[in-house]
């Protein structure tokens, strides 16, 4: 089985790495109990915490100056001024887009490959971003939200191997229990991973260019809370293979501790 180890757009022969968008195959079957079959365009201001990163990944604004993304999107820990973050818009070509540049990257020190877990990283920006266009996204430190229906969003490919998107797309996907996900991915590290998608028919998923972006849902107070980070999967929206997301509740304390040092 050829696994797609990280949904980040890379240049390694033999693998299709991804980092941004939602998949809507033309023949996708309707998802049960859901009005979303595949990606639809997000409204301006709907998800003000979404971040597009210039290396072809997504992210979420963790603090006004720190972006939470996937470890496989970055090359290591240290000074890095080479990443541009675009925020505050759903249309990447909008004149209203806010841009900021990285100064430092922190990659989880335990990261050894997306399929092994610890797939999270922090990017410090050159200045805090502010204004009505942007907002931070809370992360869960409890497994209480690791179930139900999740929202995914990104600027990545709308079909497996397709082009990146100019406009932010969104979709909803249901939780997939560990036993079912382990059948699709033998050896899955369930303490590190959270799976979501329509296992039987596929048709809705994150894809190339969505890596590092958030998977989120409403919390008990009705606010958005991040439960996952787009990590990896076998292709995009394939029947039998749900998306695999970094389980944020497992790493929330480590993420907070690292952010406090930046």
CA–CA distance, 21 with 195 (Å, rounded to integer): 17
Mean of the pLDDT values across residues 48-60? 97
DSSP designation for 260: T
For the chain, the domains span 50-136+252-259, 137-249
Architecture of the domain whose range is 50-136+252-259: Beta Barrel (2.40)
- Least confident range of 18-32, 61-75, 185-199, 243-257: 18-32
CA–CA distance, 30 with 9 (Å, rounded to integer): 28
Please say if 119 is a catalytic residue: yes
Please say if 72 is a catalytic residue: yes
pLDDT of residue 99: 97
Residue 61: exposed, middle, or buried by beta-carbon count in 10 A (0-12, 13-18, 19+)?
A: buried
pLDDT of residue 85: 98
Please identify which of the residues 102, 119, 193, 231 carries the catalytic annotation: 119
Report pLDDT digits (tens) over 180-206.
999 999 999 999 999 999 999 999 999
Structural fold of domain 137-249: Thrombin, subunit H (2.40.10)
Report pLDDT digits (tens) over 82-122.
999 999 999 999 999 999 999 999 999 999 999 999 999 99
Report pLDDT digits (tens) over 238-255.
999 999 999 999 999 999
pLDDT of residue 140: 98
pLDDT of residue 38: 58
Please identify which of the residues 102, 108, 193, 211 carries the catalytic annotation: 211
The reply to whether 50-136+252-259 and 137-249 are identical in fold is yes
Which tokens sit at 177? 């229990």
DSSP 153-208: EESS-SSTT-PPPSB-EEEEEEEE-HHHHHHHSTT--TTTEEEES-TTT----B-T
């Amino acid at each position: 089985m050829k696994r797609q180890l990280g949904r980040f757009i890379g240049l390694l022969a033999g693998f299709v790495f991804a980092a941004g968008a939602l998949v809507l195959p033309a023949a996708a079957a309707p998802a049960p109990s859901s009005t979303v079959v595949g990606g639809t365009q997000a409204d301006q201001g709907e998800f003000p915490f979404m971040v597009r990163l210039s290396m072809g990944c997504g992210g979420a604004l963790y603090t006004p100056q720190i972006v939470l993304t996937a470890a496989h999107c970055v090359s290591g820990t240290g000074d890095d001024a080479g990443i541009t973050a675009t925020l505050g818009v759903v249309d990447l070509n909008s004149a209203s887009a806010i841009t900021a540049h990285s100064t430092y990257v922190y990659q989880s020190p335990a990261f050894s490959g997306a399929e092994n877990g610890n797939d999270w990283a922090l990017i410090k920006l050159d200045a805090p971003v502010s204004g009505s266009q942007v907002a931070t996204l809370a992360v869960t430190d409890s497994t209480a939200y690791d179930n139900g229906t999740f929202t995914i969003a990104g600027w990545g490919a709308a079909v497996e191997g397709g082009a990146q998107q100019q406009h932010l797309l969104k979709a909803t996907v249901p939780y997939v229990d560990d036993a079912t996900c382990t059948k699709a991915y033998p050896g899955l590290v369930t303490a590190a991973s959270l799976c979501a998608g329509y296992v039987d028919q596929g048709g809705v998923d994150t894809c190339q260019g969505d890596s590092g972006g958030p998977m989120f849902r409403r919390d008990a107070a009705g606010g958005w809370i991040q439960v996952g980070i787009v990590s990896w999967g076998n292709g995009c929206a394939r029947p039998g293979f749900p998306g695999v997301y970094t389980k944020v509740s497992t790493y929330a304390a480590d993420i907070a501790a690292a952010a406090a040092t930046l």
